[in-house]
Amino acid sequence: MPRCREFNIDEALDQALNAFWLKGYASTSLSDLLAAMGLSKSSFYECFGSKRAVMLAALARYSARELAETRCHFAAARPLPALLAEWLGHALLPDACRPAERCGCLVLNLAIELAPHDAEIEASVRQHIDALADVLAEALRRGCEEGSLPATTKPPLAADALLNLLSGIHVLAKGGVEPARLQAVIDGHLAALFAGR
């Protein structure tokens, strides 16, 4: 792939990721991708092969980054309630890629748009969700051991409930529900999770 040596593949994938994140897969044209990635059509096809291949590579890059950041976040030596509140509250912040837009979570966006129709994308989305659930369950297990959570807490179930909450927050935020209302939902869920400790 000689033309791939002429540009930074990771930087190009980051730009493609932002394009898919902003407009969705179907609405992102090849012209959009070429402009975002700064590539000629020949370089694009020689290095990536297709729009779908770029999307899969961008999704893998996004997933790896998000999982690494989440692991780092929950590895911090801080109280679990504060860590969970910050992690959930991040969904209410403007998106780093496009602050003026409500982009949401790329994995969730693709889960809704493409996973029902594409087994490979469904598998990639599921892999990300399962890995994220494992990170959360481990943090919740530590919370049980340290006494910040009730002893009756079941970490895997609580982790899935948190993922469900986060997904709902992302969808409602994209629908224009005001942050204060969503923050109240987060606060109520966390109060119930930590009640009785």
Q: Mind listing the pLDDT tens digit for each residue in 87-106?
A: 999 888 765 554 445 577 88
pLDDT the model gives residue 175: 83
Residue 177 maps to a domain: yes
Residue 21 maps to a domain: no
- Indicate the pLDDT class of residue 8, thresholds 50, 70 and 90: confident
pLDDT the model gives residue 101: 54
CATH of the domain at 98: 1.10.357.10
Residue 7 maps to a domain: no
Work out how many domains the chain is built from and give that number. 1
Residue 179 maps to a domain: yes
Four-CA torsion 176, 178, 181, 185, nearest 10 degrees:
50
Mean pLDDT of the region 178-193: 93
- Summarised one tens digit per residue, pLDDT across range 16-61 is 998 998 888 999 999 999 999 998 898 899 888 899 999 999 999 9
Range(s) of the domain holding residue 164: 56-194
Structure-model confidence comparison of residues 156 and 96, the more confident one:
156
- Summarised one tens digit per residue, pLDDT across range 104-133 is 788 988 999 888 898 999 999 999 999 999
The pTM assigned to this predicted structure is 0.86
Residue 1 predicted with pLDDT over 50: no
pLDDT the model gives residue 184: 95
- Percent of the chain at pLDDT > 70 equals 90
Residue 97 maps to a domain: yes
Q: Which residues of 36-50 are buried (b: 16+ CB within 10 A; e: fewer)?
A: bbebeeebbeebbee
Residue 98 maps to a domain: yes
Residue 185 maps to a domain: yes
Residue 23 maps to a domain: no
